[in-house]
Structure 1
Amino acid sequence: MGKKRKHSETGVATLVGKDESAPERPKRTLLGWKDKVEDKESNSMVFRNKEKVLVTCSRRINYRYRHLMLNVVSLLPHCKKDNKVESKESKGATLNELVELKGCSSCLFFECRKQKDLYLWMARCPSGPSVKFLVNAVHTMEELKLTGNHLKGSRPILTFSTNFEKDAHWKLVKEMIMQIFGTPKDHRKSKPYHDHIFVFSIVDDHIWFRNYQISVPHTEADKMDRGSLDKMTLVEVGPRFCLNPIKIFGGSFGGPTLYENPFYISPNEIRALEKRKKAGKYAKKVKAKSRRKMHERSNPLKPDEFAEMWKE
């Protein structure tokens, strides 16, 4: 590759080595001409985040939860959406294979059961860890119809409450959220500035998610200096949802249990308690009716004299 053919006077082609002292030809890019040596040095020093997230859901998902998943897809320019996955058999192996085929490193899996309960899996593939959440208080963008509106594809600012620094499991969840929801810098589908904020706050051992637009006045009279936050306002965009952590696993979609929420109550148990309460009301009515009949049998009424007169 580095040698040229030179024809002598006798007509015989000889190989002549390339002159090492000659300068290399500069490389042309979209931003202009670059020197090859400088380009190599810059590439060796700069770290590039190549984080990609696979977003998918299970079959028989409710339309409301499917709209929530599509809202999350619109907020993450570095994600890839895939077809529905059967969640009953070999869920972990199937999702790990899909993540590898798509060239991703993380996965958000929306699992719907009984068309009522929504579970969210956050997993680092293929080695883990992974977190399983129960999703409550779901409000999609179509339902809220809020006035906030930020540019699609812009990078978000992630903010967390101080509760994330108290326990070890909250620190792990915070790190996973930062890696999954944080858009990489210089991503080809992202815009190079911030105009909205993702807020994650812990209240009653639940993670509450909010999305706000950073609103800045655009008139000449209200033009503000760089760095001043007095005239900046936050306008909510949506969606809204609440994450109740269930378990943290050491592997991807399974493995050893690192943390289990002691305050978690499954939706099936809650529905069973409500049915028992309703069944208890009916049982009380039946017992009261049987007590009235027993009382009437033990204490019969005396014959009424006036009733006899009316019969005659």
Structure 2
Amino acid sequence: MSVGTRAHGDSGLLIGRSRTFREALGKISRYARCSAPVLIEGETGTGKELAARALHAKSDRRAGPFVAINVGALPEALIVNELFGHEQGAFTGAARRCGGLVAQAEGGTLFFDEIDSLPVSVQATLLRFLQEHEYRPLGGGRTREADVRVVSACNGDMAALVRAHKFREDLFYRINVLQLRLPPLRERLGDLEVLTEHFLDLMQERYGGPERRLEPGARAAMARHAWPGNVRELENRVHRAYLLARDARITEDDLDLPKANGASVTELLDDAPFAVAKARLVAAFERDYIRAVLAKTEGNLSAASRLAKKERRAFARLVEKHGIDRREFTHPSY
């Protein structure tokens, strides 16, 4: 049986048997005993929000709300209003009073996803809130107290952002009282089997279909894959393979994993002339690189093009050239 802790989401569980993952689960249980701020670090798709929800569910605040804010998805000008709300007449169009996310999270947990995307101009405001546990809605004259636990998550190296003066050092120490690192899937390949079985069971239940399991060749291909999109990518590929499999056996072809290393490179070369073999390898690299970048950015073309340091239209043409559907990377359940 898997080692896991129940949390919100279609997948429902944080699952793993590996030592590194069990250590992370142990920290969640320990951190749940207090209300100190927690910083969850991990690559895209490792389950940071599931970990935050598990932390909330195990804490004394479990009866209160869990409120999440995706910092990277909000325009800079709206972040303060989203957090603290506003009074009637605070600005043009403010026809009525509106409470912010801090008020919604009262007595519970406030989760800042992609905290590393927080604009520098807003960081001082958040620091003051964390220091004083007080806030003032836009246009308001009265300061209000807040009883919330702050949990933050980041994809990148926060310490590096501090050194580059892109994130305030004092704010970093405020949100990083307790630290939780979620390992990428490539560091816990021993969990592939139990995760895959869980997702296959989930798909069988969701679609009312037959039981399906992986062929040995499919398992070997999964073990060779780097999993740049982590558990979210695994769920996506298992989901698609379950639907495409012709019978109870899921093959390597059903998983549609990129072929770019080991024996697969030899297959690409075949007996082709140098120019043809080079073109095949370049095309394979482009396809795998684009898929990896889209997996990291959850299918966001703008973010993917920035990560690749390419102009957005040029990157979009590459996506179209290789017939990649970016929507397959936007699955929200993990």
TM interval, shorter chain, is: under 0.3
> With structure 1 as the length reference, what TM-score do the two structures score?
0.21
Structure with the higher helix share, 1 or 2: 2
> With structure 2 as the length reference, what TM-score do the two structures score?
0.20
> Larger RCO: Structure 1 or Structure 2 (Cα < 8 Å, ≥ 6 residues apart)?
2
